[in-house]
Amino acid sequence: MPNALHPPRVAIVGAGPGGLASAMRLAREGISVTVFKSETALGGRTRTIHAPGGYKFDIGPHVLPLSAGLPCFRLRHAPW
Ligand X SMILES: Cc1cc2nc3c(=O)[nH]c(=O)nc-3n(C[C@H](O)[C@H](O)[C@H](O)COP(=O)(O)OP(=O)(O)OC[C@H]3O[C@@H](n4cnc5c(N)ncnc54)[C@H](O)[C@@H]3O)c2cc1C
- Report CA-CA distances (Å) from 47 to 6, 10, 32, 58, 80: 35, 23, 25, 6, 27
58 is a contact residue toward ligand X (CB under 6 A): no
- Assess contact for 68 and 61: CB atoms under 8 A: no
Q: Which of 46, 71, 73, 75 binds ligand X (CB under 6 A)?
A: 46
24 is a contact residue toward ligand X (CB under 6 A): no
What whole-number distance in Å separates Cα of residue 80 and Cα of residue 78? 6
64 is a contact residue toward ligand X (CB under 6 A): yes
Q: Which of 14, 23, 25, 73 binds ligand X (CB under 6 A)?
A: 14
Q: Which of 45, 56, 76, 77 binds ligand X (CB under 6 A)?
A: 45
